[in-house]
Structure 1
């Protein structure tokens, strides 16, 4: 009989993007059947006496044990510098609520900043007279800021953006690149190299033309 290997899900590490982390962490805790410890917390202690109260006490002790496990998962997910600010939180629910209060607001700010960067990226275009290296640097600066604010952006998005936003003098090389390359596997460095070669050829052609026309005057 073949053995089945079950891969344990990794504990999602908090990277500063609260909404995304909270979604992953909730899913992780639900898979462990511990999410109710965050939603509800440990049941309040009841008055002593009677069989029903004894049953409630056992449920409470079981909840405390589960709460310790959830706290352990949260401590592993959160950086030490953040953990030090929530050590006074005695339950997993307390830790979760504190994280939401601390970071959900900053996430909203990041989301607003990301929307601004998306608009900047969309309208970005190469200016007349701008060098290839300058335009690539400008585009990558905006793209890297977007990634820093949580945007998932692969090379293909940047490659396609650059191809559709070059000045008209690069139309020929754009067509050539699109026809002779698989854009899904093309790197930004490869794209930049192709445009630099074309730019150098145009520069050499202009220098030759200037020299030829000067020579004609004599």
Structure 2
């Protein structure tokens, strides 16, 4: 009796996924509404900055470009932090290799 309901749900999910992938600002949509949609669609690494923008930013006057710029700045900060952590690991590995090299030379 409700066999078609599952198909309708699947079709609706597919339509929503397609809409999400092609998210664009509609003609009648104001910047505030679009910026809020943008902030709700960010991946987990941006959730904190998106929340801060929603709480402390004035989305009524903030342009989409400004929102994107702030997200990019956050992304750069994450990248810089990750790069410095990787350098620490490489340095540690380098030091570890030198120590092992010295040990093997001393054992000869």
> Normalising to structure 1: TM-score of the pair?
0.33
The aligned residue for residue 188 of structure 1 is 64
**Secondary structure, counterpart of 1:198 in structure 2:** helix
Structure 2, unmatched stretches of 5+, are 1-14, 96-108
- Give the aligned length: 79
> Normalising to structure 2: TM-score of the pair?
0.64
Give the number of the structure with larger relative contact order, counting CA–CA contacts within 8 Å between residues 6 or more apart.
2
Distance 1:159 1:191 in 2: 7
The aligned residue for residue 208 of structure 1 is 84
Whose radius of gyration is greater, 1 or 2? 1
Runs of 4+ in 1 over 3 A off after TM superposition: 118-121
Cα RMSD of the aligned pairs, angstroms, is 1.9
Structure 1, unmatched stretches of 5+, are 1-117, 125-137
Q: Do 2:36 and 2:54's aligned partners in 1 also have CA atoms closer than 8 Å?
A: no
1:167 aligned residue (43, 50, 53): 43
**Secondary structure, counterpart of 2:77 in structure 1:** helix
Please state which structure has a larger fraction of its residues in helix.
2
